[in-house]
Amino acid sequence: MNDARHASASAGPAVGSVAGPVAPAHGGEGEVFDPAPFRPGKMGLLGTGALAALVFGGLLAAGIVPRILHRQALEEETTANEKDAPRVVVTQAKRSTDASNLVLPGSVQPLQETAIYARANGFVRRWLVDIGARVKQGQTLVELEVPDIDEELRQNQATANQAKAGIAQAKTQLELARANSNRYGALGPTGVVSQQEVDQYKATFDAQQSNVEAAEAAHKSALAGVRRLQDLKAFGVLTAPFDGVVTMRTAEVGQLVTSGTNAGQPLFKVAEVDVVRIFVNVPQLYASDVHVDMDAPVTVRELPGRTFAGKVARTSNEIDTATRTLLTEVDIPNPDGSLIAGMYAQVSFRVVGQKALLFVPATAVLIDAQGTRAATVRDGVIAWKDVQIDADMGDRLAIATGLNEGDVVVNAPSDRLLEGMHVRAEQSQTAGPRVADSKPKPP
């Protein structure tokens, strides 16, 4: 077998074969390995690189793309939640820098106002003044027809006349009884008449005296009835109780009116507005600084730049246990009628400086079954905090505990705002709780 292999090798190349170098068998003794034939070509290298790049790109995409998509989904979900989150208006809790001017709200009221009702039943004959008219004390407002009273008055006058005639008759009978009693009294000692007859005429005289007194009393009673009806008839003319302005009229010609305050609306209302007054609830914190005759300048939003000279007329001298405030009346001269009853006004009191108080809008505190609390917003999330009110300033509250300066509170929270709820907070257009920082201009 070795010999055949040797013969084959020594036979040389086969006829018709192409001459060329023949690589010796690898591994033989004295043989050298040439790697050139096994080297990849340029195209092979490019194909291999492209394939590797595709594989690497696929692996990279398989790891990064899901993360990008997940993040995009989270962002879209967050944006959707923000759009669906309820919108709330918020304000920062701020401390006062100067508490020397206490500004409190109030409503302008007449110094006095009277509702005028009919005192007698009847019909409106005519009315003489309308709303807005200025009237003087005693001026006629309306005249009534009172036919029932007229008829009753005539009856009582007839009864009085009858009682008067009864007095005259009783006095005549009294004189006759006196004459008989005197006559029989003189004859009694002579024995012409019996003592019984004397006593009988004496008793008749005494009884007749009583009849005269009874007739006089009946006449007085009849006259009292007449006077009562005359007074009621006089109530058919209603007059102004004081100088003022007619603020209401319901009287119409021919209208049936019934006496008393339970019969419906009054026929007129008259108000005294030359001096008006404002009732203000002063917080307990400042109650000791408010006293009678204290200046209390008043401003009205509808009259910018004008300050009215008000003074404290009186106080209740008692703190209301429900609101912890002192009821105070401020009187303001109003000769030109600029202040109209019902106007919203602001009253300023110059008080001794207090500690810097933390203020929030009055609507920012919710009082319900869970207590007194305020809704704060931080990073778009609701957090409820229990608070304690230090003073009530009307449109703002001073907070003693529960909040810190700079806390963002919801202006008008409701129990629908739950703890941890996401919301969209919008800053209030107004600049937080107002605190007076300068003395009002004198009138």
140 and 235 housed in the same domain: yes
Which position has the higher pLDDT, 263 or 109? 109
Which position has the higher pLDDT, 438 or 340? 340
Query: Interhelix angle for 195-234 vs 147-187, to 10°?
Result: 160
Per residue in 202-216, pLDDT (tens digit) is: 888 888 888 888 888
Is 70 part of a structural domain of the chain?
Answer: no
280 and 346 housed in the same domain: yes
Q: How confident is the model at residue 82 (pLDDT cuts 50, 70, 90)?
A: low
Is 250 part of a structural domain of the chain?
Answer: no
CATH number at residue 346: 2.40.30.170
Per residue in 242-255, pLDDT (tens digit) is: 999 999 999 999 98
Rg (CA), the chain: 55
343 and 362 housed in the same domain: no
DSSP string, 245-293: EEEEE---TT-EE-SSTTSSS-SEEEEEEEEEEEEEEEEHHHHTT--TT
Which position has the higher pLDDT, 229 or 17? 229
Task: Return the SS3 of 206.
Answer: helix
Q: How confident is the model at residue 432 (pLDDT cuts 50, 70, 90)?
A: very low
CA dihedral 91, 96, 101, 102 (to 10 degrees): 50
Mean pLDDT over 305-325 rounds to 92
Among 312, 334, 350, give the residue marking a domain's end: 350
Is 313 part of a structural domain of the chain?
Answer: yes
Q: Tokens for 408, please give them.
A: 């963002």
Q: Are 375 and 413 in contact (CB under 8 A)?
A: yes
Domain that holds residue 150: 120-239
Among 216, 239, 262, give the residue marking a domain's end: 239
CATH number at residue 362: 2.40.420.20
232 and 304 housed in the same domain: no
Is 435 part of a structural domain of the chain?
Answer: no
Is 41 part of a structural domain of the chain?
Answer: no
Task: Work out the angle at residue 254's Cα, subtended by the Cα atoms of residues 252 and 260, and round it to the nearest 5 degrees.
Answer: 75
Range name among 112-126, 137-151, 271-285, 342-356 with the lowest pLDDT average: 342-356
Is 43 part of a structural domain of the chain?
Answer: no
Distance of CA 95 to the CA centre of its chain: 25
289 and 304 housed in the same domain: yes
Q: How confident is the model at residue 80 (pLDDT cuts 50, 70, 90)?
A: low
Is 215 part of a structural domain of the chain?
Answer: yes
- What are the helix and strand counts (H, E) for the chain? 5, 23
Is 339 part of a structural domain of the chain?
Answer: yes
CATH number at residue 172: 1.10.287
What predicted TM-score, i.e. pTM, was given to this entire model? 0.53
